[in-house]
């Protein structure tokens, strides 16, 4: 199956092997998750949002969020509300090996917009441009920008922000097809992204509610984008972006793990190593919950509770082995149901 999504994409000379990307997701796209998505074949993976001022002030969590590991292409997403800190943080990220710096102007979370960062910046484009210019001027690597359609339905200004950002030197634009006030409600407006396509010549990435090969093809058709970005649909299946690429290449789409038990246990162990056991046990819970929801939904409530509340890493590993070993992502839920 021939598809533009199978083809490489150049972002100011940084070559991405295909056009199905993993979105930056706070609390989700940490290094263990990104490494699994990249290994499965995602065209690029983007770090969790890194707060620029905190990074410059040597916060350990900010440093951990932007770790590269063994990733072939390292994209660090920065957020902030002050030009000085954005520029300084960009220099730090570049110095730590970032191949691309992405600017967050799309996060809808109240704790982010309440600090006049994320999508709140779409309410003041002049100020937003000062952050973009500071970031672009601080580094030699390409700078990209992720945004929403606008703050609300009465201020759809993504085309204007995109045009001004490109004029300032931004090399790729990603648009989530919702306003900030929509958060994640309803369905992303894929057609509305096309107005951004008409405003810019650099690569455009379409984002929002892409969860399958058919979705990826349809959002490309309706938006006119050059690439797609997958976010929440990858919860519990970090391999999804790579699976879509494989299917578009005419393969079987079998980038999902043959042994889900080994895969989940491996992901859990990687999180323990990345964060340390005490913190890793806590951070891993959301991922384990998503794996169960997608692949083992019929696990008894008592077992789920034990898994999600235990602070003992070995106990959690033993429970995971009992739940997932021998199950596949395709038929695990059916097997559990039949065994119930």
Task: Write b or e for each residue in 66-80: b if 16 or more Cβ atoms lie within 10 A of its Cβ, otherwise e.
Answer: bbbeebebbbbbbbb
Separation of first and last alpha carbons in the chain: 40
Instruction: Tell me, yes or no, if 107 is annotated catalytic.
Output: yes
**pLDDT of residue 338 exceeding 50:** no
Q: Which helix (H) or strand (E) holds 307?
A: helix 301-309
Q: How confident is the model at residue 339 (pLDDT cuts 50, 70, 90)?
A: very low
Measure the CA–CA gap between 292 and 286, rounded to whole angstroms.
Answer: 10
Tens-place pLDDT, residues 247-306: 998 876 556 788 999 999 999 999 999 999 999 999 999 999 999 999 999 999 999 999
Closest residue by Cα to residue 77 from 213, 86, 154: 86
Question: Spelled out in words, what is the top-level CATH class assigned to the domain 4-248?
Answer: alpha beta
pLDDT of residue 165: 98
The DSSP symbol for 327 reads -
**pLDDT of residue 336 exceeding 50:** no
**pLDDT of residue 330 exceeding 60:** no
Query: Could you tell me the two tokens for 208?
Result: 């929002």
**pLDDT of residue 28 exceeding 70:** yes
Helix axes 260-275, 277-295, angle to 10 degrees: 150
pLDDT of residue 337: 33
- Sheet of 100-105: strand order equals 20-22, 227-230, 204-207, 172-176, 143-148, 100-105, 75-79, 46-51
Share of the chain above pLDDT 70, in %: 94
Model's pTM, two decimal places? Answer: 0.93
pLDDT of residue 333: 40
Active-site hit among 56, 60, 107, 331: 107
Q: How confident is the model at residue 334 (pLDDT cuts 50, 70, 90)?
A: very low
Task: Please answer whether residues 35 and 270 qualify as being in contact, where contact means their C-beta atoms are separated by less than 8 angstroms.
Answer: yes
pLDDT of residue 252: 61
Question: Mean pLDDT across the stretch 191-213?
Answer: 98
Task: Please answer whether residues 313 and 281 qualify as being in contact, where contact means their C-beta atoms are separated by less than 8 angstroms.
Answer: yes
- Give the residue carrying structure tokens 């201020």: 155
Task: Please answer whether residues 248 and 37 qualify as being in contact, where contact means their C-beta atoms are separated by less than 8 angstroms.
Answer: no
Tens-place pLDDT, residues 34-55: 999 999 999 999 999 999 999 9
**Domain residue limits, the chain:** 4-248, 260-339
- Give the residue carrying structure tokens 């246990």: 265
Closest residue by Cα to residue 222 from 192, 201, 178, 191: 191
List phi, psi (to 5°) of 265.
-65, -35
SS3 content of the chain, % helix, strand, coil (to 5): 50, 15, 35
Task: Please answer whether residues 68 and 30 qualify as being in contact, where contact means their C-beta atoms are separated by less than 8 angstroms.
Answer: no
| Residue 33 neighbours by CB distance under 10 Å | 23
pLDDT of residue 166: 98
Cα–Cα distance list, 144 to 84, 101, 133, 185 (Å): 18, 6, 12, 26
**pLDDT of residue 129 exceeding 90:** yes
**Sign of dihedral through CA atoms 19, 94, 59, 114?**
negative
């Amino acid at each position: 199956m021939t598809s533009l999504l199978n083809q490489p994409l150049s972002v100011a000379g940084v070559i991405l092997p295909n056009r199905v990307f993993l979105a930056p997701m706070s609390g989700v796209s940490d290094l263990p998750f990104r490494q699994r998505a990249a290994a499965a074949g995602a065209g690029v993976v983007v770090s969790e949002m890194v707060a620029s001022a905190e990074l410059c002030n040597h916060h350990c969590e900010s440093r951990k969020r932007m770790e590269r590991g063994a990733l072939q292409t390292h994209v660090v997403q920065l957020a902030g509300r002050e030009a000085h800190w954005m520029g300084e943080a960009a220099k730090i990220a570049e110095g730590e090996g970032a191949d691309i710096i992405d600017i967050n102007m799309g996060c809808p979370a109240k704790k982010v917009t309440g600090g006049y960062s994320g999508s709140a910046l779409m309410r003041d484009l002049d100020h937003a441009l000062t952050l973009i210019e500071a970031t672009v001027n601080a580094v030699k690597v390409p700078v990209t920008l992720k945004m929403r359609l606008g703050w609300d339905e009465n201020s759809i200004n993504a085309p204007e922000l995109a045009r001004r950002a490109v004029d300032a030197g931004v090399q790729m634009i990603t648009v989530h097809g919702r306003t900030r006030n929509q958060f994640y409600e309803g369905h992303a407006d894929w057609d509305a992204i096309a107005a951004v396509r008409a405003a810019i010549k650099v690569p455009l990435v379409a984002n929002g509610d892409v969860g399958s090969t058919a979705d990826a093809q349809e959002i490309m058709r309706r938006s006119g984008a050059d690439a797609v970005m997958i976010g929440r649909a990858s919860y519990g299946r970090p391999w999804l972006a790579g699976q879509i690429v494989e299917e578009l290449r005419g393969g079987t789409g079998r980038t999902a793990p043959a042994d889900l038990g080994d895969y989940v246990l491996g992901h859990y162990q990687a999180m323990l190593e990345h964060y340390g056991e005490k913190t890793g046990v806590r951070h891993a819970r959301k991922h384990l919950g998503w794996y169960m929801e997608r692949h083992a939904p019929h696990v008894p409530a008592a077992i789920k509770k034990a898994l999600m509340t235990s602070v003992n890493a070995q106990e959690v590993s033993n429970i995971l082995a009992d739940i997932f070993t021998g199950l596949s992502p395709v038929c695990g839920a059916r097997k559990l149901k039949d065994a119930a």
